[in-house]
Structure 1
Amino acid sequence: MLRYTLMRLGIFVGCLVVVWALVYSGVAPRGLGDSNGMWVVLLALLVSAPISFVVLRRERDRASERIVQRVDRMKSGLEASRNQEDAVVDGTTGAPGRTS
Structure 2
Amino acid sequence: MLRYTLMRLGILAGCLVVVWALVYSGLAPRGLGASNGLWIVLLALVISAPISFVVLRGERDRASVEIAQKVDRMKAGLEANRAQEDVDDDAARAQGQTS
- TM-score tier (shorter): over 0.9
Partner of 1:6: 6
Aligned partner letter, 1:52: S
Partner of 1:79: 79
Structure-2 separation of matches of 1:39 and 1:92: 67
Which structure features the higher share of helix residues?
2
Structure-1 separation of matches of 2:86 and 2:29: 66
1:94: how far off? 1.2
- Structure 2 portions without partners, runs of 5+: none
Find the residue that maps to 1:44 and give its secondary structure. Answer: helix
Structure-2 separation of matches of 1:23 and 1:71: 44
Alpha-carbon RMSD across the aligned residues, in angstroms, is: 0.9
Aligned partner letter, 2:28: A
| TM-score normalized by the length of structure 2 | 0.95
Partner of 1:66: 66
Structure-2 separation of matches of 1:80 and 1:29: 60
Structure-2 separation of matches of 1:82 and 1:45: 45
**Runs of 4+ displaced beyond 3 Å:** none
Partner of 2:93: 93
| TM-score normalized by the length of structure 1 | 0.94
- Structure 1 portions without partners, runs of 5+: 96-100
Aligned partner letter, 1:89: D
1:8: how far off? 0.2
Find the residue that maps to 2:78 and give its secondary structure. Answer: helix
Structure-2 separation of matches of 1:64 and 1:91: 41
The number of aligned residues is 95
Q: Does 1:52 align with 2:52?
A: yes
Structure-2 separation of matches of 1:14 and 1:58: 20
Matches within 5 A, 1:31-42: 31-42=31-42
